[in-house]
Amino acid sequence: MKKIGLFILIMLLSIMINAKVRYDIFAMYSISVKQGKPTSIPKGYFIKIVKDKNILTLGDINKYSLYNKKITHNGFNTFERYDAIDKYDQRCVILFNEDASATDWWDKCAISICYENSDKAVVYLSKKPQTIE
């Protein structure tokens, strides 16, 4: 009986680790990396971002290969940071931020993309990510 339970647990963990995750983006804005201040106001932007293992697909606009995953926790925030290369061979950093203390759905998740040698980052605001098959 213990072996069956262990087998089921291992299968569930492997599914969770390798699951595709979809982020429903509803707004975007840009920020100055040096100043940490927005350089544009948030505007409506509806697109789906899918993270499948080490591939991130930004709608049909761009595709990123993710590597060097680093996870940190800061109080209620969880930061998942990746180095990435897009389909044009440009290097960037992608940061997933989930705020557990957020009271509203609209400020719970954000995805930031900052390209190498750029002083601006684009921030995409997302609903809570959904696991898809």
Interval 12-50: pLDDT, tens: 444 445 578 999 999 999 999 888 889 998 898 899 999
Q: How far apart are CA 130 and CA 133, in angstroms?
A: 10
Q: How far apart are CA 106 and CA 32, in angstroms?
A: 22
Q: How far apart are CA 20 and CA 133, in angstroms?
A: 6
pTM of structure? 0.81
Which residues, 6 or more positions from 44, have their beta carbon under 8 angstroms from its beta carbon? 26, 27
Interval 51-106: pLDDT, tens: 998 999 998 889 999 999 999 988 888 899 999 999 999 999 999 998 877 766 66
CA angle 128, 18, 1 (to 5 degrees): 110
